[in-house]
Amino acid sequence: MSDDIVVDIRSSDDIVAARQAGHHLAREHGFSLTDVTMIATAISEVARNITSYAGSGEVRVMVADREGLVVAFALGNLQERAQMFVTPGDHVYEGMIAGESSRPGDMDVNVTKEKKLTNMRTTASDDNVILEPPRQITLEYALEYIEEDELIEVTPKTIRLRKRVLTANDRKKAARAARVADAS
């Protein structure tokens, strides 16, 4: 995650700032200038028609609660409740959005949970996990999808969604502070 560039786009001025920051970081971190230019152009094209967007509040997400590699066993248990955005072997970190939940409220989930191994084997306990293909996130989809508390990470290889505040405890504190501020 050290080479990732996270840009919060809310207006056309942010697009210009993102392009300038991208070119600066490309030189500083060794990114290909062509990759940065392609990403900035794609952001400009999509965001050109967006004047302002506030999330609908209807979409709830599954948020990874720890860093690690995604495991098929964990996704098998979660896919009954969600459309996943990650595949086994993907690297996730705390605060990264791993899927879209069908239940109300954001859920912190462990997508790195491995099956407990025992010496006892039965034919029923060693079933293969069959996974549905994950939803591919495009820049257009990500811009339509994000809520106020979420960001889009665009790297030369991937497009990811994440929470603005990464740790679960900090998200709860921020929500509590927002409720207190709204009440007063």
Whether residue 102 sits in one domain with residue 24: no
What DSSP character marks residue 127? Answer: P
- Per-residue pLDDT tens digits for 40-88: 666 666 555 443 444 444 668 999 999 999 999 899 888 888 899 999 9
Cα separation, 81 vs 102, in Å, equals 6
Domains in the chain, number: 2
Whether residue 24 sits in one domain with residue 104: no
Q: Quick check: is 105 in a domain?
A: yes
% of the chain surpassing 90 pLDDT: 29
Whole-angstrom CA distances from 126 to 41, 74, 95 are 48, 14, 31
Tokens matching residue 55: 């999330």
Q: Quick check: is 77 in a domain?
A: yes
Residue 38 belongs to what H/E stretch? Answer: helix 33-47
Phi-psi region of 97 (alpha: psi -120 to 50; beta: other; left: phi over 0): beta
- Residue 68, beta-bridge partner list: 92
Whether residue 86 sits in one domain with residue 32: no
pLDDT of residue 86: 94
Q: What is the pLDDT tens value at each position of the chain, 184 positions in all? A: 445 556 566 555 666 666 666 666 666 766 676 776 766 666 666 555 443 444 444 668 999 999 999 999 899 888 888 899 999 999 999 999 999 987 888 899 999 998 887 766 665 555 677 888 999 999 888 888 888 889 999 888 889 999 999 999 999 998 899 889 988 7
